Amino acid sequence: MDFKEATNILWGTEPVTAAEMAERLGKDPHTIRRARINGAERAFGAKGVEAVMADLADKHADEFERRVRELRARSTNLRIG
């Protein structure tokens, strides 16, 4: 595996998007973006937001763990430069 292949594995990881957060919170993605700037409490109240964010982080953590296993399994052949 070369450096490009390794970075492709990491960069291929799906980010948590405003659209994904909005869907889980029952809001518009624009509201989520605005809440980041102005504070979530003003946009829709903080109650329950922490649990949704934890669920999203957990979902994406599973994907990162798969990426870690893949990179470690292939790391003996990693060539940089």
What pLDDT, on a 0 to 100 scale, did the predictor assign at position 43?
56
What pLDDT, on a 0 to 100 scale, did the predictor assign at position 41?
60
Q: In this structure, which amino acid lies at residue 23?
A: E
d(CA 19, CA 57): 15
Tell me if 5 sits within 8 A of 79, measured CB to CB.
no
What pLDDT, on a 0 to 100 scale, did the predictor assign at position 19?
92
Q: Count the Cβ atoms, other than its own, within 10 Å of residue 63.
A: 12
What's the whole-model pTM score?
A: 0.58
Residues of the chain below pLDDT 50: none
